[in-house]
Structure 1
Amino acid sequence: MSNVKSIRLAARVAKRPFRVSIEGNIGSGKSTCIQHFAKYKNVETHSEPIQEWRNVSGHNLLGLLYSDLKEWTFAFQHYVHLSRLKIQTSPPSNPNITVKIFERSVQNSRHCFVENAKKHKFLRDPQYQVLQNWFDYTEKNLDISLDLIVYLRTTPEVVWERMMNRGRKEESEVPLEYLQQVHESYENWFSSRNMGCEVLTINADRDIKSVIEDLERYTYKILGGNHTN
């Protein structure tokens, strides 16, 4: 990156809230983590827009995805990219917001779910190339940078059991194999050399009380070293 581009990026980052993406497999506790930080007055939180995905002009895109991954992954990932982009880059709701915490990121879609879909042939190569170019254009022309990733690391068997217990209709058809694929994609993504930000890993196989204790322990870091009650 040139010095001019670096200076421009630094200027944009200085004007925006500290961005934290909560990452993890389905059922890892991301929503609980988001809710935990909603109590801070200077923090704006965003859960995944699942209701939006369930009603795209009357179409349940999430349900369609899980019913036929090969047929619907391309359309779903297009829409997910758009919805994550809106959350990640939108201005804060008020000028007192200094931290923005959201459930998964634009980067997650590209480096985890799209890569997994390509590997397991849920996407054909032309579809994969379209999504890759869509992400590359976004990254080049918009500030989608992250300041911290909180990775709620789980084993697939644990989250599959949780998923079955919580009983979301769309998830009833998700096999353990898919959760294993997502887990592998996360591990591959976070082992890459250039993540662009720090990754804080928390063992989320444990009970929620233990996870919350870790979140409390790392609150100062997660809130960018500048949080208020």
Structure 2
Amino acid sequence: MARKLASTSLTFVLETCKRLGMEGYVVTVSGKKRSVVTPTKCSPTKKANFMQISPLLMKITTPSNRPFRVSVEGNIGAGKSTFIKYFSKFPGIETYQEPIEWWRNCNGHNLLELLYSDTKKWYFTFQSYVQLTRIQTQLSKPKDSLTRTQMFERSVQNNRYCFLEQAYQNGIIHPADYAISDKWYKQVMATFDLTLDLIVYLRSSPEIVFERMRKRGRPEETAVPLQYLKELHEAHEKWLMSDDVTINNVPVLILDADSTLEEIHEMYHKNEDKILGYDIKGRPVEKKEKDKVRRVLKLD
């Protein structure tokens, strides 16, 4: 009778996990990792032991063995923070906003303020540190094993093909500094997996984002002229609207960031599956579904 109950219970666990898309590996109470199909070959006693395993401990693998990575790009004031906030509520997603506080305090130095006070003098210093922080952010390991999507506010790629390129073309940095930054970028990309699966381009007019920037009133941005935003806009256009795969081979989803907040949210909703990678990875398990499994199996 006990063997029959154990077998029935195990079948229920496996079928439930499979239905919820939670196939993969489990960690036993003793700490050993086993495939979820392994128990069918075990003795009834070992099968029963798997009843103590929470589906939340299962390791969900993806074809690339990492979460879907999406970067949100756009001019200053295009709405990237709003975009990140909107999608942060979804299950299975981790969001990473620009580490502005790091830039404001690098061992007591406000690099962002220094940049805006004398762009030509501090640009190379600032971008060197920004590139480091973007690498650290993009290499972040998911905090949850169920994370299916990682969303970044700007990227290492942006740093190279937008900001660095804009500075070089406008004579803000010396050709030697440009060459050093380019070599650093190529070496980093060859050494680490910093690839993206999707870029969402919040395309906006420089005049509109200039007004938004003035209204939000960040102290460091008070000295930013409209001309600078126009130059950044052109840099984004050359990077993301080009067919040149040598500067971008990542799919780009373009959204009109000049729209009203209501219209923008409607665009977000319409493109959720693409933005979160569900079309590729499949939908993540909803929290209420996971909680239901925990209650049924009494795993609390």
TM-score, structure 2 length as denominator? 0.71
Hey, what does 1:68 align to over in structure 2? 118
Hey, what does 1:197 align to over in structure 2? 250
Hey, what does 1:130 align to over in structure 2? 180
Shift of 1:192: 4.0
Amino acid of the residue matched to residue 169 of structure 1? P
4+ aligned runs moved over 6 Å, structure 1: none
Taking a change above 3 Å as real, the CA distance of residues 107 and 12 of structure 1, as seen in their structure-2 partners, is: farther
Root-mean-square deviation (CA), in Å? 1.4
**DSSP-derived class of the 2:64 partner:** helix
Taking a change above 3 Å as real, the CA distance of residues 227 and 36 of structure 1, as seen in their structure-2 partners, is: farther
Bigger Rg, structure 1 or 2: 2
Amino acid of the residue matched to residue 17 of structure 1? P
Hey, what does 2:262 align to over in structure 1? 209
The percent of aligned pairs where both chains have the same amino acid is 46
Q: Is the 8 Å Cα contact of residues 40 and 227 (structure 1) preserved in structure 2? A: no
**DSSP-derived class of the 2:210 partner:** helix
**DSSP-derived class of the 2:71 partner:** strand
Q: Is the 8 Å Cα contact of residues 146 and 196 (structure 1) preserved in structure 2? A: no
Amino acid of the residue matched to residue 91 of structure 1? K
- Aligned partner (choices 120, 144, 164) of residue 94 of structure 1: 144
Hey, what does 1:227 align to over in structure 2? 283
Could you list the runs of 5+ residues in structure 2 that have no partner in the other structure? 1-60, 287-300
Hey, what does 2:198 align to over in structure 1? 148
Shift of 1:218: 0.3
Shift of 1:12: 9.8
CA distance in 2, matches of 1:54, 1:69: 15
Q: Deviations over 1:150-172 (max 9, x none)?
A: 00000100000100011000000
Hey, what does 1:179 align to over in structure 2? 229
Q: Is the 8 Å Cα contact of residues 25 and 154 (structure 1) preserved in structure 2? A: yes
Shift of 1:13: 6.9
CA distance in 2, matches of 1:220, 1:12: 16
Q: Deviations over 1:42-87 (max 9, x none)?
A: 0000110111110000000011111111011101111111111111
**DSSP-derived class of the 1:15 partner:** coil
Taking a change above 3 Å as real, the CA distance of residues 227 and 71 of structure 1, as seen in their structure-2 partners, is: farther
Alignment length, in residue pairs?
219
Shift of 1:227: 3.5
Amino acid of the residue matched to residue 210 of structure 1? E
CA distance in 1, matches of 2:174, 2:125: 12
**DSSP-derived class of the 1:21 partner:** strand
Amino acid of the residue matched to residue 244 of structure 2? R
Larger mean CA deviation between 201-210 and 174-183 belongs to: 201-210
Q: Deviations over 1:180-221 (max 9, x none)?
A: 000000000011421221100000011111111101100001
Could you list the runs of 5+ residues in structure 1 that have no partner in the other structure? 1-10
CA distance in 1, matches of 2:157, 2:243: 13
